Structure 1
């Protein structure tokens, strides 16, 4: 004869497991749909979606990318990008003016899937838009190149010295006096200016333009052709120098020169740097030939600009609240040549990702990380080639024997993590991030999906991978007490066939410790990963699924509010779910569980027909085929009576899918209208376990007798018992318990206590679950079962 036994399930917040039932935790479920697990609210119905506004009257057959802008507390926007259009709305659904020229929109051409081909980054009023299929090019425009010209510089005037200048085949000279004069006579005159003017006068010819200023002679041909020039003196060529294109030392340059004259300093062994260019700028900007200073410049006749049409564009918020999509003015190369100040490595390549790190705008391109100058987000060229500046642009490559095309980046407590499809790299640097300290170090080798952007949860990073027809999710973490040890845990190890299709988006809320996962193939569902860390220990790791009543185009969090861009047959809508713990609707003690929820203010209520006792109503959106809304009264003020009355929907209008007829007269009453959704939770097979978290004991026979649920604030619940090969028995709890304090007339009862239902089946031949399609909530704290256990042996 068996003995009566009982066992507790301490909570129901561990989510779904696809492991064999006998090795699961007792707190894990067989299935969990439209239920949400929380360490504070326990197992409850998922948040309802509130209708905000209709954004567009037609869907996106070629897909769209959704990006949100959280500028400040007052200004938040949602942006919809396609290959041909950009739309911006505030979070109340009001459309903003977006101006974009045809030339600017061509940057979006070539996009096949906006969600995977576009990347976004918002910094203040600028939202950078990156097209991953656009190859970056340099502009064909070249730096200005002057006609051939030369300077003759009289560095020193000495007595009894001959100065020679040979221009093409003509040689002229000037010899200074010996400086010897009688005692009663002044000394011989000696002036570098006199020497320069004398030589210039001798060199003048019809084919040349010769000018002298102070101690410098400026020579060039009138027809702009080249010429040869040589200069020497009888003092070992130390008093006279000449240069056309280059000079060995900076000290050889005169202090008087033509405006804009460019010369290359090619250096010598005594210099720590060489091969840079200088341009002369007179002190008086109006002077074309005078005294001034030499400034570092760029080599003439080389490309010096990025082609702005191929670089990321920006959606810029204007002062009047409108937006403009336009190309950006990227800084030009201002010094060096094509070797010393090379174009960024992304020229000739596509950009894979854009991110912001240490006050630098950064791109990933093939194996390179390219970062702008500090604080100068549009400058990707060095500011000088004569020294190494910490704030200059960074262009560093990741090196590894495996594929190292960098696809995305994530910032978390362990630093900057870079992802390729097979490896992860860490950007290492000292306190100061500079070319002298930066390096890209491979740290782990986990396969990652390049279709989805990893997302940081603060101290960890979630990234996706592909497992055939299903998607997987990994959580990357830096191990405690060690910044050099990194690992990634497979958080879908116990649900390997749960996320159907390829993961397209990851959305994380650090406020609520929840991660939302969208799939490319199943667009009407959101997979939810709920986690909770207690110090370095994760005490919750739960998966479930939200089935929505439309296709989910994009999701984003603003604090605890989750905004959903939804696509239905009649267009695109903006809706909102509230993940706040214990969230309640206005004036109510609970949240009404209706999708696309609206109040009476958004419903057109026509005149009441007394004869048929019916009223026609029109919603602001169309209903899907076969879907009927729920119309239920709500409290007009806190504590008011009369809420919970349902107006039965008799029929929908076949021609106008927004209209339907209800029984009764809702005019003048406060009510909610919305689409019902069904919440389901299926228990794992009940069994005796070796310990609280141990494996199930499968020997013997366990005949289940009953199930007891401890609930909180529950208004409606169905307990479903389905024995194998037999019909389902449904036990309905309406929230009303005779004699209970919450059972008051005119009010919706929310019951907190114990609910019990019979099972009367073998534990391995019965499926037990709970379900609700009502507008009322339920919250299950824990459960227990009892049954008769028979065994022929005794465990030792």
Structure 2
């Protein structure tokens, strides 16, 4: 066929580990520290900016919660074995009051066993190894009592009351005046004279009977009017209307109901009008006497509260009080069981079990325990009991189980609009409603999809998608569960199907940016590496970009946590005896202050964030950084504003201007033993950016010729493709080099430095960013050469597209 050429329109598709014959031309074999930005192209990733130091001691195994309270207040809370610390994003450690201690946080694996969710100023903290329990305190009102109620009185009627074998009667046939209180008075006097060890008290037509030692006794009563005028109330009544309006204060009675009522038995307590011990009052619904009625707050989830003074308090939810600046504040308390019994108002299903996770859904606090999902009262996050058992109210707590033939221990819950997606290790469920509102009567859990998932990393939601982790032996994968209200068929596609060996198995954190459409995976196997997915949806919901690549930092540093705040990825990074908070910007056109581009350096600081000192004896400047050095650092002159000057004094005593982009010749140890960098001369007035260089690395996939340029077209394998040249289109680029490594031959390197002969931007002493096409000679077979693009300088690289020119020969003609 002779000389041919083929375009590679973009370099955005990311890494593919499929066979060379099935890869697309814009797939990469390696893409590290290069971002597939759909707006601008393939670019060297942004540098990581040092924000602050958090600790001088290593963290170890910790759970980290980023608290994004509002635009001006963000915090990092670090939960370790038996402790919690909170920092502002500027590194200021906040005071954490711990009135109940931190025993609840005792765990050898906080990363996996501590779960948190933040709602306003409250961060709910769950230790999944702790078994919840009810408090051993029993509800009051257990003393045995009885009341005798003379409801009516009529002539020629005999009223009889028997208490522990002592019978008293009153016959109204000889009474000149009939009254209920008169009959009650005669019976009360008779009982008082006939019984010992009893207290007999009368108020109007009601007699209060109890033993002085509180023990049980027998009582019965009757009248000769068909037992319609005298009633005995002891422990229970059939109907609420059988109760008098006078009774002992706090007396609890069970109302059993009958066939005509629409409710089961319930309990009422008498509350006197004026607080007296035996007077008129009202009956109020209450809880059965003598049963556990409140949670053991030491076993229940605790709260980390931002106080009014800006500090924090880690405490039980027990209603304790504290004082700040003369003002008394009260902690929330888990609402007690105030009605019914253990059957009509049962313990929440998490009692006696371990809580697997905590979440927030439809203005309810939620817990997962075994196969149950439990939601609090609406807008009452600390209440998991109904306030009445007479009727089911829409706002009452919800407690439903996920029924399935497989074991369905619920591990995670993700809110997607009005849906709650629940995850077990083998199945995904939806908490749905059979009506418009989610209520205790309408709530049910339905199977959505059946894919294996790992509970090592909590799933995350973005838009209408949920991303969750799966295990594949020594490697991990990510599935995307898409929620669409108008689609009945649910699916979770494998978005790592073309990179089966990219992500290691021990991933513990997923973070997602809704602004930038980015998913970040962090694991323990390679803690200095982030696994990044960029996606882009086109028209009609079609995914047009699913790009995987990696970001790598110095191997002596470990990333302990990642979370997005806006377009910035905040990272907690640990190295020996030092923990830092740093951020990685993902905005499409990030620039340094006063500059038109970014300095691509990690752990970046400026001269204002460090100490710069000059020694007149040695004539050396020492830059002292806030972290230990693990690589040869770059100290580069930065762009300045119109009100700034940037100068240095050389060894000859001459003051010179430090031009932006000038790399100062420095020395520093790289073993982590020091935080200092030295330079000859006086740079105390120099305006610089200091950071650690990192290498961008992009390797083209093996190029091939197909019958047509379409993705589904088959490769022509009975041919030879001999590459002549590669053409790489770049934009606003300062440097990159292309390494060509033919099989069994030495590597040839071709550098682009931004200086083009005759270009106006090629003036000496200034940074030159150029756009154009870079031609690279290959001169070898396409299937036997590696073509790598690298950049370890601080200068930007932006690659828009590529094209190759080759000799293509076929041994036969296709039919």
TM (normalized to structure 2)?
0.93
Deviation at 1:622, TM superposition (A): 0.9
Q: 1:219 aligns with which of 205, 209, 212?
A: 209
Deviation at 1:217, TM superposition (A): 0.4
In the TM superposition, 1:319-718 aligns within 5 A as 319-328=308-317, 329-413=333-417, 415-429=419-433, 430-478=435-483, 481-482=486-487, 484-535=488-539, 536-549=541-554, 550-607=557-614, 614-624=620-630, 627-637=631-641, 642-652=659-669, 657-692=674-709, 693=711, 694-718=713-737
Deviation at 1:765, TM superposition (A): 1.0
Q: In structure 1, what is the Cα distance between the partners aligned to 2:585 and 2:461?
A: 21
Q: In structure 1, what is the Cα distance between the partners aligned to 2:682 and 2:615?
A: 6
Q: Give the equivalent residue in structure 2 for 1:294.
A: 283
Q: In structure 2, what is the Cα distance between the partners aligned to 1:221 and 1:67?
A: 58
Deviation at 1:568, TM superposition (A): 1.1
Q: In structure 2, what is the Cα distance between the partners aligned to 1:686 and 1:613?
A: 55
Checking the alignment, whether the CA contact within 8 Å between 1:526 and 1:545 is kept in structure 2 is yes
Q: In structure 1, what is the Cα distance between the partners aligned to 2:750 and 2:727?
A: 12
Q: In structure 2, what is the Cα distance between the partners aligned to 1:210 and 1:655?
A: 86
Q: Give the equivalent residue in structure 2 for 1:158.
A: 154
Deviation at 1:178, TM superposition (A): 7.1
Q: In structure 2, what is the Cα distance between the partners aligned to 1:156 and 1:636?
A: 98
Asked if 1:278 is matched to 2:295, the reply is no
* RMSD between superposed Cα atoms in Å: 1.7
- Partner of 2:762, secondary structure, is coil
Q: In structure 2, what is the Cα distance between the partners aligned to 1:166 and 1:414?
A: 62
Q: Give the equivalent residue in structure 2 for 1:16.
A: 15
Q: In structure 1, what is the Cα distance between the partners aligned to 2:673 and 2:369?
A: 52
Q: 2:183 aligns with which of 160, 173, 195?
A: 195
Asked if 1:136 is matched to 2:132, the reply is yes
Q: In structure 2, what is the Cα distance between the partners aligned to 1:416 and 1:730?
A: 54
- Partner of 1:22, secondary structure, is coil
Checking the alignment, whether the CA contact within 8 Å between 2:629 and 2:672 is kept in structure 1 is no
Checking the alignment, whether the CA contact within 8 Å between 2:481 and 2:493 is kept in structure 1 is yes
Aligned residues: 779
Deviation at 1:617, TM superposition (A): 2.5
Checking the alignment, whether the CA contact within 8 Å between 1:138 and 1:307 is kept in structure 2 is yes
Q: Give the equivalent residue in structure 1 for 2:330.
A: none
Deviation at 1:663, TM superposition (A): 4.1
In the TM superposition, 1:16-95 aligns within 5 A as 16-61=15-60, 63-95=61-93
Q: In structure 1, what is the Cα distance between the partners aligned to 2:63 and 2:408?
A: 26
- Partner of 1:194, secondary structure, is helix
Deviates more, 1:428-437 or 1:745-754: 745-754
Q: 2:254 aligns with which of 253, 264, 268?
A: 264
Deviation at 1:771, TM superposition (A): 0.2
Q: Give the equivalent residue in structure 2 for 1:182.
A: none
- Partner of 2:491, secondary structure, is strand
Shift of the 502–651 alpha-carbon distance from structure 1 to 2, 3 Å rule, reads: closer
Q: Give the equivalent residue in structure 1 for 2:103.
A: 106
Deviation at 1:165, TM superposition (A): 0.9
- Partner of 2:622, secondary structure, is strand
Shift of the 480–757 alpha-carbon distance from structure 1 to 2, 3 Å rule, reads: farther
Deviation at 1:656, TM superposition (A): 5.2
TM (normalized to structure 1)?
0.95
Checking the alignment, whether the CA contact within 8 Å between 1:501 and 1:522 is kept in structure 2 is no
Deviation at 1:24, TM superposition (A): 0.9
Q: Give the equivalent residue in structure 1 for 2:233.
A: 243
Q: In structure 2, what is the Cα distance between the partners aligned to 1:345 and 1:521?
A: 37
Q: Give the equivalent residue in structure 1 for 2:329.
A: none
Checking the alignment, whether the CA contact within 8 Å between 1:298 and 1:337 is kept in structure 2 is yes
Q: Give the equivalent residue in structure 2 for 1:184.
A: none
- Partner of 2:188, secondary structure, is helix
Q: In structure 2, what is the Cα distance between the partners aligned to 1:531 and 1:407?
A: 27
Q: In structure 2, what is the Cα distance between the partners aligned to 1:303 and 1:263?
A: 17
Q: In structure 2, what is the Cα distance between the partners aligned to 1:547 and 1:503?
A: 15
Checking the alignment, whether the CA contact within 8 Å between 2:427 and 2:451 is kept in structure 1 is yes
- Partner of 1:166, secondary structure, is strand
Q: Give the equivalent residue in structure 1 for 2:655.
A: none
- Partner of 2:103, secondary structure, is helix
Q: In structure 2, what is the Cα distance between the partners aligned to 1:754 and 1:167?
A: 108
Stretches (4+) displaced over 6 A: 638-641
Q: In structure 1, what is the Cα distance between the partners aligned to 2:775 and 2:672?
A: 46
Shift of the 378–414 alpha-carbon distance from structure 1 to 2, 3 Å rule, reads: closer
Q: Give the equivalent residue in structure 2 for 1:120.
A: 116
- Partner of 2:640, secondary structure, is coil
Q: In structure 2, what is the Cα distance between the partners aligned to 1:711 and 1:492?
A: 29
Deviates more, 1:649-658 or 1:275-284: 649-658
Q: In structure 1, what is the Cα distance between the partners aligned to 2:280 and 2:199?
A: 20
Q: In structure 1, what is the Cα distance between the partners aligned to 2:760 and 2:131?
A: 70
Q: Structure 1: 5+ residue runs without aligned partners?
A: 180-187
Deviation at 1:423, TM superposition (A): 0.6
